[in-house]
Structure formats: C-alpha cells, structure tokens
Amino acid sequence: MLLMSGLVAILEDDAGRIAAMRASLAKVLPGTEALFFEDARKMIAWLGEHQGEAVLISLDHDLPLRNDAGLMRDFGTGREVADYLASVLPTCPVIIHSSNDHGASGMFFALRDAGWPCGRVYPCDDQVWISDAWAEQVRRYVRDGWMNPAG
C-alpha cells in the first residue's frame, strides 16, 4: 500500500459518487485529503490559491442548476475548470470522469494540448466504475511516476 500526502481536488455534485470516491481514495491513496466542489467557479478560485498542493484533480462535466429561494443557480461546468487549468502550468495529473461524451472530450483535449497528464474514465454500472476504472487510473498515475508516494 502506498501512502501519499497532499490534496485531491474533485469536481463532483453527486453524493453517491462522492462517497464512492472517498472510499476508493482511502484504499488507493491513503493519507491524501479529498476536497469536493460542486461549483466550477469555487473550484477555480480554490485552484488559484492552492493548485500546488493538489496531487490529483478529477473533473466531472455536468453540474446542477438549482432553484435556491426562487432564483436559479448555475454551478457551471467542468469545462470551465479545464479551460482555467489549460491557462496555467501543469502541476499534477487530471482525470476526466463524465458521461457527457462531447463535453468530456473537449475537456480532455484542452488539457492534453496544454501539457497536463490527463486520463478519461467513463461512468457506468451506477458507481462500480469508481472502484474499477477511476481507481485504476489513479494507480496508473502512481505507477507511471506522476504521483510520488510520501516518505
């Protein structure tokens, strides 16, 4: 088991996915802290201050529109975060985890073209993909030397 230190920043709004990602990270990257954002602009603001602390970033594309006290609130999209990241120097690997094929492809290519180590996983089978494909992409980043164990 590899012990990692650092932060994993994840753009995700689904409570079930968040719980499954926390569980997978506890197994695959014990010692890391996961920060979850459901609002693209809040994640971008956090990255502007703390990007160097992140050992991994994972991005969903589609985020909610919610009615808060009679006002519609738009939480943005993962593409906004990908475009922000494409404008700064790469610091860690990124996983795109979205079933929105068009949106996820655009995010992937924007990040890849900007030099970010980037992978894509496809949500399927409820949340099984998180412990399978998503966790395997994290392990691949460790094996390939993009993420170094603490110590």
Query: pLDDT tens for residues 96-122?
Result: 999 999 999 999 999 999 999 999 999
Any domain includes 1: no
Any domain includes 149: no
Residue 62, domain extent: 6-143
For position 146, what pLDDT does the model report?
87
Q: What is the mean pLDDT of residues 66-88?
A: 88
Any domain includes 67: yes
Q: Phi and psi (nearest 5°) for 13? A: -115, -5
Confidence of residue 147 (pLDDT cuts 50, 70, 90): confident
Q: Which CATH number does the domain housing residue 26 bear?
A: 3.40.50.2300
Average model confidence (pLDDT) across the chain: 91
Any domain includes 72: yes
- How many of the other CB atoms lie within 10 Å of CB of 45? 13
Q: What is the mean pLDDT of residues 30-46?
A: 95
Contacts of 48 (CB under 8 A, 6+ apart): none
Q: What confidence tens digit (pLDDT) does each residue in 41-68 have?
A: 999 999 999 999 999 999 999 987 777 7
Q: Which helix (H) or strand (E) holds 50?
A: helix 40-50
**Residue pair 90/116 in contact by the 8 Å Cβ criterion:** yes
Any domain includes 44: yes
Contacts of 6 (CB under 8 A, 6+ apart): 32, 33, 53, 54, 55, 56, 150
**Residue pair 31/25 in contact by the 8 Å Cβ criterion:** no
Any domain includes 150: no
Q: What is the pTM of this model?
A: 0.92
Domain count, the chain: 1
